[in-house]
Chains A and B, each alone.
Chain A
Amino acid sequence: MSDDLRIEPQDPRITAALRALLAPPADPAYWSALETGILARLAEDEDWTAPFARWTGVGLIAAALAALVAGAALVRSHEVEAREMATLLETPVSFTARVAAEVTEPDGREATLRYVIEP
């Protein structure tokens, strides 16, 4: 390999020994067993997570329903508020209420004038 030019060359004796030492099992039965083991673990994993997956689905549906209910309630409360406001605006304010408002909420300049004039 050209990109290996500056690298310490391979020692065929060591490489052969490494291959022998770390060679994967040659018996096909071993691989069949490993495959079976892997697929069994997948099945176990799915069995274990399946209830959670179902709960997740149920949870999502419940959350969507809750959001819908909350939205509907919000719209309804806005409607009620608007209706109350309209009623309030349409109702004529009585004379006593107007006087009471004037008395309880004097304007700042008038209050200062009163303070200066009054003994």
Chain B
Amino acid sequence: MIAIAVPPSTRPGVGGVLHVPDDRTRERELVVSAQRGHREAFGELVRTHQRRAYAVARAIVLDHHDAEDAVQEGFLHAYRALARFRPGEPFGAWLHRIVANAALDLQRRRKVRTASVLPETIALPFRDPAESDELRRRLSAALEQLPERQRSVIVLHDVEGFRHSEIGEMLGIPEGTARSDLHHARATLRRMLSDTRSDT
């Protein structure tokens, strides 16, 4: 049993860094506890970071099931490497690098399949069904056309709100390359979807 109490889960801020000092202290305690072999503490870290880890993986592999596999692999690698992690550093950023590597590895092995059908549980904002269906279908196709790295960068930046430096670290590319990839990805998607039926 771990000695520390487990409060309700908190969602990490942008980039997986916890912004509230109490959360950082709490995370540090959990990491130290997990390093001492308390699996409950690691379970709490999983609970806190799995959504963000999923988003990172999904940005790279696109497919829901592949993203899930990458998240599982990532947490497994993180657990094995936990002894090497320095508790003072942000756990989220470290974990995201591991998950991104797991996703890139999975992508290399399987290559990208077509973007999967969304699970029924996903909450979508209300839109005109015809417009939203057409845009979604064409966006899926356009994402398939984008170079893999550009696709990951645009999703990590525009959807998940990661900074260029964080994206660079995750994907193992210079910050400038992440910026350039974002520029090209946005331009390509805009061009490819320019004739899609609009809301207005």
Contact = CB atoms under 8 A, between A and B. Distances in A.
A30 B121 contact: yes
Q: Which one of A16, A27, A43 has the greatest number of beta carbons of chain B within 10 Å?
A: A16
B123 to A, nearest CB: 4
B158 A18 contact: yes
B51 interface: yes
B125 A20 contact: yes
Interface string B113-138: 00100110111110000001001100
B66 to A, nearest CB: 12
Interface stretch (A31-39, A74-82, A87-95): A31-39
Given A13-B199, A35-B50, A39-B46, A18 B183 contact: no
A8 interface: yes
Contacts of B136: 17, 20-21
A16 B76 contact: no
B103 interface: no
Nearest to B182: A7
Nearest to A28: B121
A14 interface: yes
A27 B119 CA distance: 10
A23 interface: yes
A30 B119 contact: yes
Q: By DSSP majority rule, is chain B's interface helix, strand, loop, or mixed?
A: helix
B158 A21 contact: no
A11 B46 contact: no
A22 B183 contact: no
B164 interface: yes
Nearest to B187: A8
A3 B143 CA distance: 24
Nearest to B42: A42
Given A13-B199, A23-B123, A26-B121, 12 more contacts: A8-B187, A13-B135, A14-B139, A21-B143, A22-B159, A31-B47, A37-B72, A38-B50, A38-B76, A41-B75, A41-B76, A42-B76
30 contacts: A3-B164, A7-B179, A8-B184, A8-B190, A9-B186, A10-B186, A11-B186, A13-B135, A13-B198, A14-B139, A14-B186, A14-B190, A17-B139, A18-B155, A20-B124, A20-B132, A21-B115, A21-B136, A21-B143, A22-B58, A22-B62, A23-B118, A23-B122, A24-B55, A34-B54, A34-B68, A35-B43, A35-B50, A38-B46, A39-B39
